[in-house]
Structure 1
Amino acid sequence: MKTQGSAVWEGGIKDGKGAISTKSGALSAYPYGFASRFEGKPGTNPEELIGGAHAGCFTMAFSLILGEAGLTASHMETVAEVTLDKQADGFAITAVHLTLRATIPGADDAKFQELAAKAKAGCPVSKLLKAEITLDAALV
């Protein structure tokens, strides 16, 4: 499987502006720029998109792993907090913290933690990132 996202950019780093699009159309020329990335202004940024992708990938992988264990979640919600740090050689994504809250009938905490850790390690986005990835998982 192959898919794609794209970006256009016009201008300098601080005064320029860009737009991000996805093949599916989920994002279509959605604005981003220095202000949305570093100053909290409206628009998106690459780290936010990586967070969404990681949360979605992890949650889907966990659903598969749960099914293989004979379990089905009635509800799961994952937040991926992405940390961008300035380093000597520029900026780097240094960490992603996944927070999962899940309702899984019949699951005990020990098995839940084991399967969640397996999903964290095995989801394709986790495998892509060189950052430290941590997980806080709780049954609700």
Structure 2
Amino acid sequence: MKINKAHATWEGNLKKGTGEMGFEESKTNFPFSFKSRFEEGEGANPEMLIGAAHAGCFSMAFSNMLSEAGYEPEKVATTAEVKLDSVDGGFRITGSHLVVQAVVPGISEEKFFEIAEQAKVGCPVSQALSAIDVSMEATLL
């Protein structure tokens, strides 16, 4: 079992404070603030990191499932659009929409979409996000 660590610190109150979050193993840190999360400010936010995790996990799962089905993908590029909504006076992550473009020689569109759907449902991050709506738009290039 591999345990992955991420960290975050926050200084100050919600609206005026600032924080930093990152990953232990890569030593990469991302600054974040109220504006970067709820408005249009510079910096990262937790939903971006969830989106990166979802896009990365899906891309790997899809690539693996394609290979297991006898297709060798040249490229799988995924963007996850994670939606944060105001709900009942608070905020809630309500969805993650995967936008996928892939180059997979020799595959039919029908088979491509079938495997993409299996990867969407089967990737561990999709499973962890089962409390929200996970949708997908897949394009075979």
Over residues 31-77 of structure 1, what are the superposed CA-to-partner deviations in whole Å (9 max), with x where a residue is unaligned? 10101111211110000111111000000000110111011111111
Could you say which residue in structure 2 is the equivalent of 1:12?
A: 13
User: Structure 1: where are the runs of 5+ without partners?
Assistant: none
User: What is the aligned-residue identity percentage?
Assistant: 45
Give the match's secondary structure for 2:41.
Answer: coil
TM-score by length of 1: 0.95
Count of residues paired in the alignment = 139
Letter in 2 for 1:134: S
Unaligned runs of 5+ in 2: none
Deviation at 1:85, TM superposition (A): 0.6
Amino acid at match of 1:83: K
Between the aligned partners of 1:61 and 1:120, the Cα distance in structure 2 is 8
Residue equivalent to 1:82: 82
TM-score (norm 2): 0.95
Structure 1 runs (4+) greater than 4 angstroms displaced: none
| Equivalent in the alignment of 1:138 | 139
RMSD: 1.0
Task: Determine the C-alpha separation between the residues in 2 that align with 1:32 and 1:50.
Answer: 14
The one-letter code sitting in structure 2 at the alignment partner of 1:38 is F
